[in-house]
Structure 1
Amino acid sequence: MVPFTKWTSPYITGLFTFSILFIFMFFQNAVIYTFLETSVDSTKGGLCACDKCVTDLNDDDWFFLRFNPTVAPLLNRRNSVLQTDVYRWWKGLQSDSSKTNYTEVVDTLFSLFPDEDHYSDAGPDRCRTCAVVGNSGNLLRSHYGQLIDSHDFVIRINKGPTKGFEKDVGSKTTHRILYPESAVDVDNSTHLVLLPFKIEDMRWLISVFTTRHITSTYIRVRPTVNADRDKVMIIHPAFIKYVYESWLQKHGKYPSTGFITLILALHICDEVNVFGFGAKSDGHWHHYFDGILTHFSRGSHGGDFENKTINELLLIGKIYMHKGWLL
């Protein structure tokens, strides 16, 4: 009897663990499905008015095991209290020796910037088209400018310029995702969307519109940025952690700005078109506005896994990828 017990115990334990994991995944999938199904009047048809919506329910489990519509993409005063695990993970992203009180920073943020729910108008009558515009050199000579500008939202990343590149990248920008080290001026039609990798980033945002005293983080940063204060938004730290854990399966140290932006678009848009991601046809990775070579697998990001996940989103029709003429 002893040998039988030794052989069956690990087997039973493994079977039990697998069963619990399966039940959890099934339950999570069912909750998300129910949330999406009941969030609109099902008698009116689909979840949005586009021909195909990001949240269409006739897809396989891969997407819905990762996509969680209950996670708030943007920070406001009402959802600003961070769970302990979120705060610990977020604080650990980059060294920050300051003893800044997070609650005080949030109070100051929303005394300066809009404290409201954003994009809560999802429903069967809405078809919000979004262009996520990366900075890849494959945009050059693509002639995508007019197509990009035709979208309801045009979301650009970091310093990617439009001036001088309008024919290929367009001229319209409704949202620009940035952090202190990648800050640029934006016009009054553009939402400045802060991607805070640390509390110091939030303090910098406050400083930009008040005292302008923060001039460096781990490198020199701009003490001021031209932007409309009433259009400022802040990505929720819990959303960054959700992207890392749910979508990247903890590959790398944290997600790249481009990947976070893409997942953000899945949450606020009904149709997502992606431009300026990936390498040129010769395999080189560089920005369309400079010749500095880079590569998606380098740095702290799980670049290979990000690329794999983006390709899967493309295969199941959750995004549409425009890779340029690749000249």
Structure 2
Amino acid sequence: WISSSGSYVNKFEEAFASYCGVKYGVAVCNGTVAIHLALAALGIGKGDEVIIPSFTMIATAFAVCYTGAVPVFVDADKETFNIDVTKIEEKITNRTKAIIPVHIFGNPCNMGKICEIAEKHNLYIIEDAAEAHGAEFDGKKTGSFSDIASFSFFANKNLTTGEGGMVVTDNEEYYKKCKYYKNMCFPVDAPRVYSHENIGFNYRMSNLHAAIGLAQTEKADAYRTMRINNSKIYIEQLSDCPGIIFQKDQPNGLNVHWMNAIIIDPIKYGHTKDELIEHLKINGIDTRLLFVSMHRQESLKKFGCDCSGDYPVTDWLSKNGFYLPSASGLKAEQISYICEIIRKFKK
């Protein structure tokens, strides 16, 4: 059974939902469509607005655009890099239907405050937990705070199926809608007929990918520990290097450190971000740039998003930051080598 009809799809859905502390999981073919499916299950569409962070992977914004709704941006918090919860309410209008907090680099958002805001304004919450498998806030795992949540299992994630995603929820109605919409709107609990009442999507996950996902879920805590330990080594070895700034953990949160991002203060460090990236490359160390702010995306301007205003923290992150190697399987001596190159270049 290679196709989505195989038994491992259900097994993976049940195992991963249980890991997140929720009742239901719906496996899909990638993390972007997981967000879209979640939005569709909540009935969000044309004329609606959805609040998202300005500092995120553009997939968050694109998924909102797929529904016909409009993403509205909120700047990042300078310490956690997550959405600045103190700026959310000023972006809420009578068209706002939902908030999508993104747990950036595995650092959980302040879900306590976000839940308060959503309840006050009668808004849905859709957690974008693509980067945060196993992260926790106040002892609860990401994916369990919202009406519905989405995960990615892309190749570089803490848990991976190569390509893949998952929607998780405690709400049976949303669960059934996701199952319905992801499979071309074929009946969920009835014989297959080829008369379709709604526009559906082909977002199924194959049995092969689900089998990999089930095995990954069984090792989830081990992978989480590996990422956390790798981040500790980076922080310990670079904490005394002036001009190197790390993401700070969310208070009451458990950061699973999907990526080890650093921000360069060129005055204190003595070199720019680009100069350090080039020096690392010369020494055999690959890096990646951080996200570019949503308000600077030409595609979103063309779509009709309001890209006016200033997002200074997001621009600061984009201008001065990049990822260091972050794979779970990195050895301590490899991380030490990277840190040594960074320290020596400072000198």
- Return the TM-score normalized by structure 2: 0.32
- Return the TM-score normalized by structure 1: 0.33
Structure 1 or 2: larger strand share? 2
Please identify the structure whose Cα radius of gyration is greater.
1
